[in-house]
Amino acid sequence: MTDPVGKKPGLFKRVTGSRELRRQPLFTGISWLVLLFLYAPVAVLIVFSFNDNRSVVRWTEFSLRWYTAALDNGDIRRSALISLEVALTATVFATVIATMAALATARGGAFRGRSAAIALINQPLMIPEIVTAIATLSFFSILRQLTGVTGLGWLILAHTVFCIPFAYMPIRARLSDMPATFEEAAADLYAAPWQVFRHVTLPLLMPGVMAGAMLAFVVSLDDVIITLLVAGPGETTLPIYILGQIRRGVTPEVNAVSTILIAVTVAMVALTFLLQRKRK
């Protein structure tokens, strides 16, 4: 049977159907243009970090002198150690809390306030970071006055709270993809709840836990706004040190430090995506 214009229905559908997005006019060109504006500055920074000349706009020859200078700089090493201490500690606490929250919301069944709890966990993702930083600064200032306690712990606490939703998302996503049949089978074989979690749930959940931990580590390591407002004297992290140096003018040494930071971030994010895709 044919349609009113004498064409077969299948052929008519192929002609008038919606085309793929990538075949839309200007889609490919606009996509490449966006990618160029996003990554061209990063590429320039990386290239000129290997420039022997002190100028960041005139290339002379390939050299690793600025990486050597950065590694020999005591302030950079001190800032890097502080960044690693804060990021690692915050990652551990944030991952543990996020794992417990994911188990409660994904395996705890339906309970009153479940939706509100999920929204509360993800709230730092919806609020502008500058608002979170100002609120944290005001709250911590009150606590410091009341307790008289100072030190790096306040910065670690701020990073922990801010990193929880970043660790929570991949962990809960992993739990949502995991069938509960293995846990139910272990319970049917008289395994205690802790034994089920240790020998069944946790091994299956580990790719999500590792992905969440690495994502939290990257977020903490790269954070500027919250650290800038919350950090006290002598608590300069590596991003804050780079920001301070840029105010005096961009130098190849700053480019070298930034390139190292980019390399660490890209490696961690790549591992995060690989772990999220892991199923066994």
Average pLDDT over residues 70-94: 92
**pTM score, whole prediction:** 0.79
Q: Output the average pLDDT for the chain.
A: 83
What single DSSP character describes residue 201? Answer: I
Q: Report the candidate in 66, 230, 246 with the shortest Cα–Cα distance to residue 156.
A: 230
Residue type for position 90: A
Residue with token string 């192929």: 14
Average pLDDT over residues 41-61: 83
Instruction: Give the pLDDT band (50/70/90) at residue 278.
Output: low
Per the DSSP assignment, residues forming a β-bridge with 51 are 62
In this model, does residue 64 exceed pLDDT 80?
yes
Structural domains in the chain plus CATH codes: 9-48 (no CATH), 66-277 (1.10.3720.10)
Q: Report the candidate in 164, 198, 122, 170 with the shortest Cα–Cα distance to residue 274.
A: 170
Q: Report the candidate in 205, 198, 195, 212 with the shortest Cα–Cα distance to residue 95.
A: 212
Contact (Cβ atoms closer than 8 angstroms) between residue 212 and residue 167: yes
Angle at CA of residue 85, ends 79 and 88, nearest 5°: 130
